[in-house]
Amino acid sequence: MKGFLYRLVITALGLWAAAAIVPGVQIVGVGTLLLAALLLGIVNAIIRPIILILTLPLTVLTLGLFILVVNGISLALVAWVLPGFAIAGLVPAVLASIVVGLTGWFASTFVGGSGRIEHIRHIEVTGRRLD
């Protein structure tokens, strides 16, 4: 359960960063932000795989770049369903999905597969241990 909450907060931080950086993305309120993160997780788990299978030929043709559009569509779908979360078009949706993805990727370096926060150890290169 802890891991789920960490992932939810990471996604919410990514959405917050996208709303702050990308023009055309607007989120009203913290509750909407958390609900958008939850809905994005549900969309990514259920609907996104179906879209990926349906668009597989186009994804292969574009050497995988079409996945950025699929991620933008997933984010736009959440914005379409959720009042208080608005995206002005496909280009802001794709840019926002890149920001959310990069934020999640960066934060995942600190959170393990089980959802536990990993400790970062500093090891000196001179051969001596720092205990």
Which tens digit of pLDDT belongs to each residue from 94-118?
A: 999 999 999 988 887 777 666 666 6
Which tens digit of pLDDT belongs to each residue from 21-77?
A: 999 999 999 999 999 999 999 999 999 999 999 999 999 999 999 999 999 999 999
Q: How far apart are CA 25 and CA 33, in angstroms?
A: 12
The amino acid occupying position 69 is: V
Full-model pTM: 0.81
- Domain spans in the chain, listed from the N-terminal domain onward: 2-108
Which of 95, 81, 86 has the alpha carbon at shortest distance from 42? 81
Contact between 33 and 3 (Cβ < 8 Å): no
